[in-house]
Structure 1
Amino acid sequence: MPPLFFIHGYWSTPATFARLKTRFAALGYEVHAPALPYHERDPSLAPAPEIGTLTVEDYARFLVAEIEKLAVAPVIIGHSMGGMLAQIVAARVPHAGLVLLSTAATAATQVPSVATIRTMGGVMTRWGWWRSPTQISPEAAMWGIYNNVPDAIARAEYAAHVWDSGRVLAEMTLPSVSTTGATKVDYRRLDRPALVIVGTEDRITVPGISRATARKLAGTVDYHEIPGSGHWLFWGSIETLVGDYIADWLGQSPAHIPAQAGIHESPSPA
Structure 2
Amino acid sequence: MKNNFKRFDTQNYEFNTQSKYGVYIIHGFSSSTYETKQLAEFLGNQGFHTITKNLPGHGVSARECNNVKYSDWLYSVKQDVAKLVSESKKTYIIGCSMGGSIALYISSLFPINGCIVGGTVLKFKNPFTINVTNRLFCKIIKLKKKSDINKNQTIKFYGYTEYPLIALNEFRKMNLKIIKKLVKIKCPMLIIHSNSDRLSLIENLNMIYNKIDSEIKEKFFVDKAHHNLFDSNPDQKNIFNKILSFIKEN
CA deviation map 1:214-261 (0-9, x unaligned): 111211111112124442322233111210110121221x1xxxxxxx
Cα RMSD between the aligned structures?
3.2
Give the equivalent residue in structure 1 for 2:177. 182
CA deviation map 1:29-78 (0-9, x unaligned): 1000111112121x5xx733xx3242222211111011122212521100
TM-score normalised by the chain length of structure 2: 0.76
Distance change >3 Å, CA 182–CA 136, structure 1 → 2: farther
Q: Is the 8 A contact 2:27 2:96 kept in 1?
A: yes
CA deviation map 1:104-162 (0-9, x unaligned): 11xxxx3xx7xx229x78xx66973257754542264474xxx9xxx5xx55x54x436
Give the equivalent residue in structure 2 for 1:205. 200
Alignment of 1:1-270 (within 5 A): 2-41=21-60, 47-48=63-64, 51-70=65-84, 71-72=87-88, 74-105=91-122, 110=123, 116-117=125-126, 128-129=137-138, 134-138=143-147, 140-141=149-150, 143=152, 151=154, 155=156, 157-158=157-158, 160-161=159-160, 165-173=164-172, 175=173, 182-219=177-214, 220-233=216-229, 234-252=231-249, 254=250
Could you tell me which runs of 5 or more consecutive residues in structure 1 were left unpaired when the two chains were aligned. Answer: 255-270
Q: Is the 8 A contact 1:203 1:230 kept in 2?
A: yes
CA distance in 1 between counterparts of 2:140 and 2:21 reads: 38
Q: Is the 8 A contact 2:224 2:235 kept in 1?
A: no
Aligned-residue offset at 1:19: 1.4
Distance change >3 Å, CA 170–CA 142, structure 1 → 2: same
CA distance in 2 between counterparts of 1:8 and 1:142 reads: 24
CA distance in 2 between counterparts of 1:185 and 1:81 reads: 16
Distance change >3 Å, CA 130–CA 79, structure 1 → 2: farther
Distance change >3 Å, CA 191–CA 58, structure 1 → 2: same
Distance change >3 Å, CA 204–CA 165, structure 1 → 2: same
Give the equivalent residue in structure 2 for 1:266. none
Give secondary structure in 2 for the equivalent of 1:3: strand
Could you tell me which runs of 5 or more consecutive residues in structure 2 were left unpaired when the two chains were aligned. Answer: 1-19
Q: Is the 8 A contact 1:130 1:169 kept in 2?
A: no
Distance change >3 Å, CA 127–CA 184, structure 1 → 2: closer
Equivalenced residue count is 225
What is the percent sequence identity of the aligned residues? 17
Bigger CA drift: 2-11 or 68-77?
68-77
Q: Is the 8 A contact 1:133 1:165 kept in 2?
A: yes
